[in-house]
Amino acid sequence: MQIENFSKDTFCLTFVEGPINFSLMRSIKHMFDTCTCTQIKNNLFIKAKNIRFYKDFIDEEYLKNGSIRLSHAWCLRIVYCLSKQIEYLIGNESKCFYKLDFDHLLVIEDVFFYLSPESLVQLEKGMLQIPHSLLEKKDGFFSPELLDFIDSVSGFVSGSIHYKTIYYSLGLLLMSALNMNNGDSLEKIKDTKLYYFIIRCLQKDIHHRHLIFL
């Protein structure tokens, strides 16, 4: 995916892998009541003050604060935005992502948005239907049950995984944003709402995972 400043207040997102899914377009409009999105072939035109990749956003924050660790407040913003997007896709489009990564995480003004048509799959009776071609790629944040399934199959076998696998992926993404993937412990943020949200996402029992922020 590429981002180009098409005009003063319009950005063009070009998708190399193919046209954007209409479900993703509707989820953008769900996040932005005043957002205008127009698709022309593999290009998506969005009216916004600014759009940048998460990695560029992190570089900006580093220049401001001298830290690669995302602030507590920004992590809470990720929780709000991605939870809202995920819940919309599940409840309104019968689709969901099977994993998250930073490469497709965008910051549209002050809203975090995951925009990966390839990672968006069909949801049937609570199970994500993942084509075999996607299971060959291990980039991003994967739940343990999805990794176990990938390691146990071979050839042209598609996967059927509970949709709460994405909750685990979100928990891992948040830990990485906090720079806690190198042996750092979540104890550093213990007794905060963010701590308990991540803990609920990372439950080993998939049925005990919840997107609840208390």
Single pTM value for the model: 0.90
- The per-residue pLDDT for 77 is 96
For domain 51-208, the question of CATH label 1.10.510.10 is answered with yes
31 and 80 in contact (C-beta within 8 Å)? no
Which of 193, 209, 170 has its CA nearest to residue 82?
170
DSSP 8-state secondary structure symbol assigned to residue 191: T
Structural domain spans, the chain: 51-208
pLDDT in tens, the chain (214 residues): 888 888 888 899 888 776 778 898 889 888 877 678 888 888 888 888 889 999 999 999 888 888 778 899 999 999 999 999 999 999 999 999 999 999 999 999 899 999 998 899 999 999 999 887 777 777 899 999 998 888 776 555 667 899 999 999 999 999 999 987 654 678 888 889 999 999 999 999 999 999 988 7
- The per-residue pLDDT for 201 is 96
- The per-residue pLDDT for 179 is 84
- The per-residue pLDDT for 176 is 92
Which of 127, 107, 124, 105 has its CA nearest to residue 115?
105
Strands 95-97 and 111-114: unpaired
Long-range contacts, stretch 3-9, CB < 8 angstroms, 24+ apart: 3/51, 3/52, 3/53, 3/106, 6/45, 9/47, 9/48, 9/49
28 and 37 in contact (C-beta within 8 Å)? yes
3-state secondary structure of 177: helix
93-152 confidence digits (pLDDT tens): 999 999 999 999 999 989 999 999 889 999 999 999 988 777 777 789 999 999 888 877
Q: Which residue's entry shows tokens 């689709």?
A: 95
- The per-residue pLDDT for 154 is 58
